[in-house]
Structure 1
């Protein structure tokens, strides 16, 4: 091969490498901005709905046979929430985000009577603590104190990138430490998350949790971020995992975020020793119910349970069958939380 030929091949290789690098930057940055940067590309206006309580009746994820029932239950839950909020004094508290310089906000809703029981309620993607207040009203009825944090880059918390549960898992451990440090070592804590918040509590369950964390409730978690993103990219845009998700992974790491491939609730529950209840809607059109079954099968906790709610869309199990949902949740928790 002559010198000229080698130069042409080298030049072509350099050009291809440059094009690939440009692809990574353009596609990767676009994906990160679209999915993980608050307010970019109209995300907030597109994803949030007035009085949204963990699900969206307009997202095509509601079985037509239960849509009217879901809406009626939703309205009843909002009324219950509003009545409860009118009687409770909410306190905003702050801690440092794990490994970061910015603060995270959390909101404490004390029970009417002193109790050692605490529910930490963890919201979903683009939601805030306020979206968990309907759930908090049910815990309040059962005599629980409630802590509802705003996750990174949500609500009143700092941060530039949405964590999708992975960095949030360590923040949840720190929130548990905060409750223990402030209210005493005798407290009992349940972690209850919805959607991205469910993935976060599953991820936290694989860490070394304080013994005061007695149980986890995971409502419609995804197994791992890479699979979830790949599924959504294909469903929404008909695009393959590569280069879209792979390029996003590279750029997210470069921008000081985290590794998408490490963000696995499935791997974390394999290390869990905390009793866990997995809940999922059978008609979930966003995160398939099969992911809940995978998480349940993989979970190493000494006690675990799986509830699949017929007809329920994404994050709408409670609104679809409130009696089944809350009877199951509190039936699972009450024997684990100790004396009030």
Structure 2
């Protein structure tokens, strides 16, 4: 009787510990997802409301002090050109249905369990002043929207490109509850590519140009079976993979190790987002890419280290690739740190590729 009673107590304790562990996984995992991937009414996540957030904010120390004044001046110049372009451009808002495929095994298109999960994505078309088959698909970053890449669109327009700038899922005017961190977005980008080909014809030439999370999405898309109309990718400050990105943020913000926070978030994201973050790797995707790719990164990026750009460049299997590291540039600020170098490099790389 004593042994049976002891065994019963041990079993009960084990069950209680298992239940406690399960509850902690749910609590920690959901808290991490809500903090990083669920935007509020203002479009920002809990992560981006922190006083020490790193984005395009010059006040956060992510810009080297010796280039700070130049960045502010260049920003004013680029935004003035953007505003002048927007004044003479008729912008068309278009919508498509988001991908209902959730990326199992790295393949877009697998059906979700519930069709009701589908939602609309919003995109904005800025036509070239003269008829052109050249298009750039501009992909914004984390908690941004199409407005944040319009200054890039102005420069592409000056080179005769039409511009399509979508709002990624859970951003801007697009639907969705969870930010995709590039992985689910890559499937949506393939839909936008199909939209351009279907509406404007098979003769279109398309460039994917992404910034930060948008750059990761573009790199991830390049590893899929991608239409031949996509002639090049420009990746501006992409991260290598979501697990490394989250682990770095957890350590930076809270001084916590990857386990249990990231591991618990992985478990809950499988349930809430339908995919495993270990698959969400731009690094693995560019190993499959055959699309010419230009990688750009700022040497003073305090959010995504420039070493990630070098890893992506080395891993990329495209027959033509290039790496540009802009001295002193903070996160997503390469174009604003040295506009001449940035845009000269971009359009030199794209010459003869996009028609």
Common topology (TM > 0.5): yes
Aligned pairs for 1:1-340 (under 5 A) are 2-39=3-40, 43=44, 47=48, 55-99=56-100, 100-338=117-355
Within 1, Cα distance between the matches of 2:47 and 2:10? Answer: 47
Task: Tell me the secondary structure at the aligned position of residue 255 of structure 1.
Answer: helix
Shift of 1:258: 2.2
Moved more, 87-96 or 38-47: 38-47
- For residue 111 of structure 2, what is the aligned residue in structure 1? none
Q: How many Å separate the matches in 2 of 1:29 and 1:212?
A: 40
8 Å contact from structure 2 (residues 38, 45) kept in 1:
no
Structure 1 residues 45 and 21: alpha-carbon distance in aligned structure 2, compared to 1, 3 A threshold: closer
Structure 2 counterpart SS, 1:67: helix
- Tell me the distance in 2 between the aligned counterparts of 1:45 and 1:36: 9
Distance 1:204 1:22, change over 3 A: same
Structure 2 CA distance for partners of 1:42 and 1:318, relative to 1, 3 Å: closer
Change (3 A) 1:40 1:243: farther
TM-score if structure 2 supplies the norm length? 0.91
Other-structure match for 1:51: none
**SS, match of residue 43 in structure 1:** coil
Shift of the alpha carbon at 1:59? 2.8
- The unaligned stretches of length 5 or more in structure 2 are 50-54, 101-116
1:108 is displaced (CA, Å) by 0.2
Q: Distance in 2 between matches of 1:257 and 1:130?
A: 29
1:11 CA displacement: 1.7
2:89 is paired with a residue whose SS is coil
Where in structure 1 do 4 or more consecutive aligned residues deviate above 4 Å? none
Q: How many aligned positions are there?
A: 333
Q: What SS class does the counterpart of residue 60 from structure 2 fall into? A: coil
Check conservation: 1:154, 1:162, Cα contact below 8 A: yes
Cα separation, partners in 2 of 1:15 and 1:46, compared to 1, 3 Å:
closer
Shift of 1:8: 2.0
TM-score normalised per structure 1: 0.95
User: 1:255, CA displacement in angstroms?
Assistant: 1.5
Partners in 2 of 1:258 and 1:45 — Cα distance? 22
Task: Report the CA distance between 1:40 and its aligned residue.
Answer: 7.8
> For the Cα contact (< 8 Å) 1:34–1:43, is it kept in 2?
no
Q: CA contact under 8 A between 2:295 and 2:309: conserved in structure 1?
A: yes
For residues 17 and 341 of structure 2, what CA distance do their matches in structure 1 show? 57
Deviation digits for residues 292-324 of structure 1 (CA, Å, limit 9, x no counterpart)? 000000001000000011100000000000000
Deviations 1:16-41 (A, max 9, x none): 11111111111111000000011189
1:34–1:41: 8 Å Cα contact kept in structure 2? no
- Between the aligned partners of 2:69 and 2:278, the Cα distance in structure 1 is 39
Could you say what secondary structure the match of 1:58 adopts? helix
Asked whether the 8 Å contact 2:36–2:46 carries over to 1, the reply is no
Aligned equivalents of 1:46, 1:233: Cα separation in 2: 10
Question: Considering only aligned residues, what root-mean-square deviation do their CA atoms show, in Å?
Answer: 1.6
Is the Cα–Cα contact under 8 Å of residues 161 and 257 in structure 1 kept in the other structure? no
